[in-house]
Amino acid sequence: MKNIARLLAAVAVAASITLGATACATSADSIEVTSDTVVIDVRTPAEFAEGHLDGALNIDVQGADFDALVSELPTDGDYVVYCRSGNRSAAAIARMEGLGFESLTNAGGLEDASTATGIDIVT
């Protein structure tokens, strides 16, 4: 009986991990972008120069002035945030939420963001 309980617990943990990873995925999702949506690339200026979504703002989440720069934006705006892989955009969103922003979408990495939003990558 103990083995069955352990097996069921292991299956439950595996299922929750799988479901959690799926819930965070944005690459297959479509992200609606309107004329009011602000797209923010939180990579370094050098990465931005190599290619970014057309019309995106570049606000480096690792820059010392990140909080000050995003604080200049209206907190009630609609924002799509992306980076190289989705890690820095998640960190940027957490910081922006702490500053009072509410409508934030993590578009993941550059290519995923382009696919999800339909916005071209430009240099």
Catalogue the active-site residues.
83
Tell me the residue type at 26: T
8-state DSSP, 54: T
- Which H, E and C letters describe 67-110, residue by residue? HHHHHCCCCCCEEEEEECCCHHHHHHHHHHHHCCCCEEEEEEEH
